[in-house]
Amino acid sequence: MNDKMNDKIINNGLKFNHMDFQTRVIHVGNNIDKGTNAIKRPITMANSYKLPYDPSVLNWSGADENIYTRNGGSNQKYLEERIASLENAEDCIVLSSGVAALSGLFFSLLESGDHVIFSNVTYIAVYRLLNELFNKKFKVETSIVDTTNIENVKSEIKDNTKLIHIETPGNPTLSIVDISKISEIAHEKNILVSVDNTLASPYNQRPIELGADFSIESLTKYINGHGDSMGGSISGKSKHLDTIRKDSQINLGGTISPFNAWLIMRGSVTLPLRMEQHNKNALKVAKFLESLEIVTFVSYPGIESHKNHEIANKQMKNGFGGVLSFGLNTNHDKHNEFVSNLKIITSAVSLGHDESLIVFIGEDDERQYLYPKEFKNGFLRFSVGLEDSNDLINDIKQALNKTGLL
């Protein structure tokens, strides 16, 4: 048989089980490379592994043995071991993107006739998948619900409800949903709960500890942290993940490249240090923005004016992340002019990078009807980076000045 890769990495995880997040993020999934004694595991770019003497004993669609990289590659498995440990989950599947994780989860769990409740504020692909593709192609019933209100969720539950999918903090409005409460009401009715945890990262929030069945991360964001690769993860119980792995990865083919898995592994080492800085910077920037007259609102779970600050305080352990959104009391064009006048902060999608990124979301965005009223005139989503916070504040000031808004 092949090298027992899975046994080896599980043993590696157990060795560090009782240790702190900061220690596990460095050691779990890394080991001495047997071939060379290198103290960092290498990137294994091979797409095939040597077969045993009698390959007929293998399951060609299995993930337990190293056969073919789509069934699971070494670098992917090391990263899965690390993410599972950080999420405090039994198991983890790492895929090629956050959306591959979301679509893989939905594809594997849902059948025609099932009903899904999902948050009004989610990553756009969730809206497309559930509201446009799964319901039309596969006759999955879907309800978009303001999940910040537990009563709304309760009243939408039906006999065929299979899954409640929430995102907290939600992208792009930073809405906060009570993970424990949602899990409690869902589990009373045998409904599964998945949480998109991307904006918090497992350093700030761990949905599985709060009762959710699945924690989804876009590894592209904070966990990689450097804006140079893509990946996604689904963490949860093995009894679910064994099937999801076969469906989403081996049969749908959403496997991550070894190089991307390696980059994310490398980026993840500094997650706690980076999140501390993101948390601090975003809080300072949020408070600064709140002090400006031209700013109509700031949505950041870390400030007291946030509608669900209390819930955020309860479920987010170390801080509130680096993403905030805010509105300016001005017209469409001036928003674009303000952004173009920024010198450090770059206009780009994505978030959780080392550098600060900003996006203007217009008043005519197709999902405006799902957002609270203060967002209706258009708003800016700001992913506060790791730069010096005073430099960021000065950049905002000079750009507002140059645009004639200050």
Cβ–Cβ under 8 Å, residues 281 and 392: yes
Residue with token string 């200050």? 406
The answer for residues whose C-beta is within 8 angstroms of residue 236's C-beta and 6 or more apart is 89, 90, 91, 92, 208, 213, 214, 215
In the complex, least distance from residue 206 CB atom to ligand PLP, rounded to whole angstroms: 16
Q: Which string of x and - marks every residue 70-109 that binds ligand PLP (by CB under 6 A)?
A: ---------------------------xxx----------
CA distance 162 to 116: 6
In the complex, least distance from residue 138 CB atom to ligand PLP, rounded to whole angstroms: 21
Beta strand ranges found along 19-114 (DSSP E) = 91-95
What are 240's two structure tokens?
């679910």
What are 272's two structure tokens?
């706690």
Residue whose C-alpha is closest to residue 104's, from 264, 256, 253: 253
Report DSSP state, residue 374. G
Report DSSP state, residue 388. -
Q: Which span sits near ligand PLP by CB under 6 A: 24-32, 79-87, 216-224, 356-364?
A: 216-224
In the complex, least distance from residue 194 CB atom to ligand PLP, rounded to whole angstroms: 11
Type and span of the H or E element at 307 = none
Q: Please tell me whether residue 145 binds ligand PLP under the rule CB under 6 A.
A: no
Q: Please tell me whether residue 232 binds ligand PLP under the rule CB under 6 A.
A: yes
Count of residues engaged in binding ligand PLP, rule: CB under 6 A: 15
Cβ–Cβ under 8 Å, residues 234 and 214: yes
In the complex, least distance from residue 315 CB atom to ligand PLP, rounded to whole angstroms: 16
Q: Please tell me whether residue 230 binds ligand PLP under the rule CB under 6 A.
A: yes
Q: Please tell me whether residue 264 binds ligand PLP under the rule CB under 6 A.
A: no
CA distance 304 to 211: 26
The answer for residues whose C-beta is within 8 angstroms of residue 146's C-beta and 6 or more apart is 119, 120, 152
- State the amino acid at position 59 in one-letter form: N
In the complex, least distance from residue 108 CB atom to ligand PLP, rounded to whole angstroms: 17
Among 66, 85, 198, 255, binds ligand PLP (CB under 6 A): 198
Q: Please tell me whether residue 322 binds ligand PLP under the rule CB under 6 A.
A: no
In the complex, least distance from residue 382 CB atom to ligand PLP, rounded to whole angstroms: 13
Q: Which span sits near ligand PLP by CB under 6 A: 79-87, 157-165, 196-204, 374-382?
A: 196-204
Of 157 and 256, which has the nearer Cβ to ligand PLP? 256
Of 41 and 221, which has the nearer Cβ to ligand PLP? 221
Of 79 and 400, which has the nearer Cβ to ligand PLP? 79
Report DSSP state, residue 57. G
Q: Please tell me whether residue 225 binds ligand PLP under the rule CB under 6 A.
A: no
Binding site for ligand PLP (CB under 6 A): 97-99, 123, 167, 171, 196, 198-199, 218, 220-221, 230, 232, 351
